[in-house]
Amino acid sequence: MRVQKIPTLQQTYTGYAAKLILEDDSVFDGIGFGYPSEVAGEVVFNTGMVGYTETLTDPSYRGQILCMTYPLVGNYGVPSFNIKDEYGLPKFFESDKIQVKALLIHDLSDIASHWSCTRTLDQWLYEEKIPGIYGIDTRALTKKLRVHGVMMGAVVVSENAIDEARLKRALSSAKYEGLNFMPEVSTSEPKEYGDKSKDCIVVLDTGVKYSIIRNIIRTGYRVVRLPWDATYEQVMSYNPKGVVISNGPGDPKVCTDTIKTASKLIKESTPTLGICLGNQILALAGGANTYKLKFGHRGQNKPCVDRRNNQVYVTSQNHGYGIDPKTLGKTGFKVWFENADDDTVEGIEHKSKPIIAVQFHPEASPGPYDCMYVFDRFKEIIGNGVKPEPAVAAAATTKAAKARPKKKTTKIAAKKKKKKEVRRGAKR
């Protein structure tokens, strides 16, 4: 019998001076870990309890400083990128590198122990030149962001004394709004995944997670991953069965090229699935509007209601923008999912075209995996199209009934009717 020894690794890149300053002049002092450096970005929080390897590599966090609300992080270490799934994709990561600008946690585990771990969290951050702070009051920071909304912040991790005035100057020139992160997170050239003999799904890569690719392959297709600014003609040159517009960072309104392509996909009734940022892009392409949420939805415990059957699902989410439901009226879209906490739009579906989208992450990673069926529904739509809405179908049935010629009364029917009338008269 083979016995596998579980490694136990000790943190090493820790013990630095560290400070976080927010744009409202709040200061949080802590202990630095990872790579000594100075960065600025939008400060957001995630309420998930597990999955920091998947979370930190999610391209949707590009340009942001992430605070994790779960108190202990790093206890199971970091696995190797060389561990692949059956499709050849990294099993425990959502992209090829850490995407956050800095990491804020309450307590960094002294040791990391897990059968798959090959390094500690602080070592991973050091190797990828990402600063981290632990020992700060993440609860107080999260409450501040919930009350005042997300805000810009600057982080410094240093082996020397910290110059707070310099950090404030760096913060004053930092920005997140209006930036286009697509060139940083999208592929620069077409890439293919899966069995080349199978039908193709094109993924417009606005920051796609690997788990989206693996779930498309799971449903029986191969994937062609194209740059975020690919034209409709470039997309259709692969003769795809459908198109997926992926998740990604930043304001959807800066993705003008993707919106233009999405508009053509809608016009031509091309089967399309939007996920997270892709949901917002499809709404904009249809003529709706988007807006910035106060502090966004980031975590693994977000309840959403499927409006088709009032079923509630617990979902994984990471977004800071939403669709304005009041602007959906003339777009052809209707609300598919709704957030049970704040009634924001969590998914849309077209009334007459094979186009659906969700704001949450059906691929999860990290979990929960309640909504994997979204990919299966997309496959069903590709194969069968969309059914007309009940109201539309009922109207069509009524119209058809009115248009149907009335049956002529036969001689036999007339005789039966006369006999009934005679019987009624005798009874009186």
77-101 confidence digits (pLDDT tens):
999 999 999 999 999 999 999 999 9
Q: Is 321 part of any known ligand binding site?
A: yes
The domain boundary residue, chosen from 109, 137, 172: 172
CA distance 426 to 120: 100
Domain coverage including residue 279: 182-384
Q: Are residues 84 and 210 in the same domain?
A: no
State how beta strands 111-113 and 8-10 pair.
antiparallel
Q: Is 328 part of any known ligand binding site?
A: no
Q: Are residues 51 and 145 in the same domain?
A: yes
Instruction: Give the pLDDT score at 385.
Output: 77
Mean pLDDT (the chain, rounded): 92
Helix 256-267 to helix 277-286 angle, to the nearest 10 degrees? 60
Instruction: Give the pLDDT score at 386.
Output: 73
Q: Map residue 345 onto helix, strand or coil.
A: strand
Instruction: Give the pLDDT score at 5.
Output: 84
Burial class of 147 by CB neighbour count within 10 A (0 to 12, 13 to 18, 19+): exposed
- Cβ-defined contacts of 162-166 (< 8 Å, 24+): 162/17, 162/18, 162/19, 164/19, 164/21, 164/27
Query: Is 135 domain-assigned?
Result: yes
The domain boundary residue, chosen from 141, 172, 203: 172
Q: Are residues 215 and 165 in the same domain?
A: no
H helix runs in 179-311, sequence order: 182-185, 210-218, 232-236, 256-267, 277-286
Q: Are residues 335 and 196 in the same domain?
A: yes
| CATH value at residue 188 | 3.40.50.880
On the question of pLDDT at 396 being above 50, the answer is no
Q: Are residues 168 and 187 in the same domain?
A: no
Q: Are residues 372 and 228 in the same domain?
A: yes
pLDDT tens, residue by residue, 199-249: 999 999 999 999 999 999 999 999 999 999 999 999 999 999 999 999 999
Contact predicate 185/248, CB 8 Å = yes
Query: Is 207 domain-assigned?
Result: yes
Instruction: Give the pLDDT score at 393.
Output: 37
Q: Are residues 159 and 186 in the same domain?
A: no
Q: Is 359 part of any known ligand binding site?
A: no
Share of the chain above pLDDT 70, in %: 89
Instruction: Give the pLDDT score at 395.
Output: 40
Which residues make Cβ contacts (< 8 Å) with residue 72, sequence separation at least 6?
Answer: 106, 107, 109
Q: Is 248 part of any known ligand binding site?
A: yes
Q: Is the dihedral of CA 205, 209, 210, 212 positive or negative?
A: negative
Query: Is 399 domain-assigned?
Result: no
Give the residue from 200, 205, 213 showing the smallest Cα distance to 189. 205
Q: Is 63 part of any known ligand binding site?
A: no
Query: Is 141 domain-assigned?
Result: yes
Query: Is 406 domain-assigned?
Result: no
pLDDT tens, residue by residue, 276-304: 999 999 999 999 999 999 999 999 999 99
Instruction: Give the pLDDT score at 387.
Output: 65
Which residues make Cβ contacts (< 8 Å) with residue 103, sequence separation at least 6?
Answer: 34, 56, 65, 66, 68, 125, 130, 131, 132, 133
Contact predicate 293/359, CB 8 Å = no
Domain count, the chain: 2
DSSP character at residue 365: S
Tokens of 300: 């693994």
On the question of pLDDT at 404 being above 80, the answer is no
The residues carrying an active-site annotation are 276, 361, 363
Query: Is 100 domain-assigned?
Result: yes
On the question of pLDDT at 27 being above 80, the answer is yes
Q: Are residues 198 and 335 in the same domain?
A: yes
Q: Are residues 150 and 19 in the same domain?
A: yes
Tokens of 155: 């982080």
Q: Is 425 part of any known ligand binding site?
A: no
Tokens of 8: 């136990």
Q: Are residues 149 and 118 in the same domain?
A: yes
Q: Are residues 295 and 361 in the same domain?
A: yes
The domain boundary residue, chosen from 172, 204, 230: 172
Helix 373-384 to helix 210-218 angle, to the nearest 10 degrees? 50
Query: Is 42 domain-assigned?
Result: yes
On the question of pLDDT at 420 being above 90, the answer is no
Instruction: Give the pLDDT score at 422.
Output: 45
Q: Are residues 303 and 335 in the same domain?
A: yes
Give the residue from 307, 252, 304 showing the smallest Cα distance to 282. 252
